[in-house]
């Protein structure tokens, strides 16, 4: 998509968009940025999102003609922290949770840190692999073994993680985030996980996208306190 408004997104940040001017579907839909390219001479800025055809809203999105104008609010939320010195960045994406990790992988590669990021993508089956290029060295995992590693990204990482300190970056369905948080805790790794939650406002006003704090002291908002949290901050299984 072409970008015309101000404000450059960082990896982990998201946008909300209105897929139709009508009242059904009603709410704006949140999507993490999967890419961003600055404007340059003769060329506008461009941003990307990754989505999967799931319901009425994504179908309408897919039917938009190239060049259509879409009502977008962005950039929203916080961003992934960079890995600390000596930490190996491992990026685990489940399904369309791939989006923000593609952006992060590109940013880390561009920054040229000493340790190249490793992206691990998990989908249920090969037919659900996204039709977008993955960065060099990316590992594909399928639940049914129809492509790449048979198992989840968490299984692969547990078996193949390098020695030394690791920082996990994750985005995907709740069971995957629960498993990533557990793996990070068991190995003493840092983990920055991006939450997926239904949102109404996207800016911190409605309290709809709450996530339970790990210490039981209340809730944090996925939209404005996150969407990226240190894994130990959130009760990832508490959001059902």
Partner 1 sequence: MKPDLRVSIGGLELANPVGLASGTFGYGSEYEELVDVDALGALYTKAVTLAPRTGNPVPRIVETPSGMLNSIGLANPGVEAFIAGKLPGLRGRRCAVFVNVAGATEEEYLEVLERIEAAAGTGPRAGVDGYEINLSCPNVKHGGLAFGTDAAQIERLTRALRDRTRRPIVVKLTPNVTDIAGIAKAAEAGGADAISCINTLVGMVIDVGKRRPVLAMGSGGLSGPAIRPVGVACCYRASRAVGIPVIGLGGIMSSGDALQYLLAGARAVQVGTGTFVDPRCAMGVLGGIEEWMRAQGVERIQDIPALLEV
CB of 14 to partner 1, least distance (A): 15
Residues in touch with partner 1 (CB under 8 A): 18, 23-28, 71, 73, 197-212, 217-219, 224, 238-240
CB of 51 to partner 1, least distance (A): 16
Q: How far apart are the first and last CA of the chain?
A: 33
* Three-class SS state of 96: helix
> Nearer to partner 1 by C-beta: 92 or 222?
222
> Nearer to partner 1 by C-beta: 24 or 110?
24
CB of 57 to partner 1, least distance (A): 9
> Nearer to partner 1 by C-beta: 132 or 205?
205
> Nearer to partner 1 by C-beta: 42 or 218?
218
- Gap between the Cα atoms of 226 and 149, Å rounded: 31
- Gap between the Cα atoms of 45 and 72, Å rounded: 14
Bridge partners (DSSP) listed for residue 169: 91, 192
To the nearest 5 percent, what fractions of the chain are helix, strand and coil?
20, 30, 50
Bridge partners (DSSP) listed for residue 219: 212
CB of 70 to partner 1, least distance (A): 13
CB of 197 to partner 1, least distance (A): 7
Instruction: Provide the sign of the torsion angle of the four alpha carbons 183, 144, 58, 138, taken in this order.
Output: positive
In 3D space, the residue among 39, 41, 43, 50 whose CA is nearest the CA of residue 8 turns out to be 39
Q: SS in 3 state form for 71-114?
A: EEEEEECCCCCCCCCCCEEEEEEEHHHHHHHHHHHHHHHHHCCC
> Nearer to partner 1 by C-beta: 58 or 147?
58
Q: What is the DSSP letter of 20?
A: -
- Gap between the Cα atoms of 154 and 135, Å rounded: 19
Token representation of residue 152: 């989840």
> Nearer to partner 1 by C-beta: 187 or 213?
213
> Nearer to partner 1 by C-beta: 131 or 217?
217
């Amino acid at each position: 998509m072409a970008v015309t408004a101000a404000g450059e997104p960082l990896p982990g940040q998201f946008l909300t968009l209105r897929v139709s001017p009508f009242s059904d579907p009603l709410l704006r839909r949140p999507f993490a940025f999967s890419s961003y390219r600055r404007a340059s001479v003769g060329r506008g800025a461009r941003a990307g999102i990754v989505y999967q055809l799931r319901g009425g809203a994504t179908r309408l999105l897919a039917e938009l003609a190239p060049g259509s104008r879409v009502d977008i609010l962005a950039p929203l939320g916080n961003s992934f922290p960079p890995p600390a010195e000596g930490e190996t960045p491992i990026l685990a994406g489940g399904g369309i949770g791939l989006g923000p990790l593609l952006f992060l992988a590109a940013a880390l590669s561009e920054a040229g840190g000493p340790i190249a990021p490793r992206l691990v993508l998990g989908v249920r089956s090969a037919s659900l692999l996204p039709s977008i290029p993955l960065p060099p060295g990316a590992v594909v995992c399928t639940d049914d073994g129809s492509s790449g590693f048979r198992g989840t990204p968490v299984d692969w990482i547990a078996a193949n993680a390098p020695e030394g300190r690791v920082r996990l970056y994750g985005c995907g369905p709740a069971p995957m985030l629960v498993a990533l948080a557990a793996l990070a805790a068991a190995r003493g790794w840092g983990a920055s996980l991006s939450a997926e939650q239904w949102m109404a406002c996207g800016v911190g006003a409605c309290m709809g996208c709450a996530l339970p704090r790990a210490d039981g002291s209340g809730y944090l908002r996925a939209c404005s306190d996150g969407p990226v949290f240190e894994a130990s901050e959130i009760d990832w299984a508490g959001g059902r």
